[in-house]
Structures are given as C-alpha cells and as structure tokens.
Amino acid sequence: MEIKRGGYTDAEAIAAVEGEATLDLTGEVSLADILLLNAIAEPSTPATGDIVFYSEVVGGLIKLYSKGPDGTTCEICSFTNSAHVNELQLNWIE
C-alpha cells in the first residue's frame, strides 16, 4: 500500500481493509447505517477485557449473543419473521 501525505479518503481507507479476516480498531467506533453479523457457530472465549458479539439461527429465530472472557454467554435479543412480522424480543440484562 502506498503511503500518502495528508491522509486517505474514506473510500481509500475502506478499500485498503476490505477482505481482511480480522480488523482491529481502537477508540470509539460509530456506524452511520447498519452492522451486519452473519450467523456463525459459537466463537471461542475471548481474551481478558474483550467481549464477542455473534448471531446464530435457532429454531427459526435469529439470536444475538455476547460472550465474555469467563466463557459466559448472554442472549441479548432474538428476532422472528413468522407469526408477528419482524418481532424483536429484548432480554433484560443486569
């Protein structure tokens, strides 16, 4: 990759990292539109101080989970597209 003086345009920065298996970011990250998570098998336990978000399809529901460094998995919410179109169920987390 060529290093440019004065920085990169947004399009150049995105093109530079597209296709990377892992993208590590530091600081605050914001999205102007959407974040797409593909359904995967439960990931391995993250390192201390980290948390993993992942989704999976279970019995017709799309479920969003978090997993902490102690291996604890927490279901954050689930979506269904059957009897009640695009119904969202949020779970209370303390």
What is the Cα–Cα distance from 74 to 6, expressed in whole angstroms? 43
Is residue 15 one of the residues assigned to a domain? Answer: no
Which residue intervals of the chain are DSSP H helices? Answer: 10-17
Is residue 76 one of the residues assigned to a domain? Answer: yes
Is residue 11 one of the residues assigned to a domain? Answer: no
Is residue 14 one of the residues assigned to a domain? Answer: no
pLDDT digit string (tens) for the chain, length 94 residues: 555 666 778 888 888 888 887 778 788 877 777 777 777 778 888 888 888 888 888 887 888 888 999 999 988 888 775 655 555 566 666 5
| Residue 79: predicted pLDDT | 79
Tokens encoding 21: 């298996």
What is the Cα–Cα distance from 94 to 87, expressed in whole angstroms? 23
The range of the structural domain enclosing residue 60 comes to: 30-90
What is the Cα–Cα distance from 65 to 46, expressed in whole angstroms? 13
Is residue 85 one of the residues assigned to a domain? Answer: yes
The total of structural domains in the chain comes to 1
Q: Express the helix, strand and coil content of the chain in percent, nearest 5 each.
A: 10, 30, 65
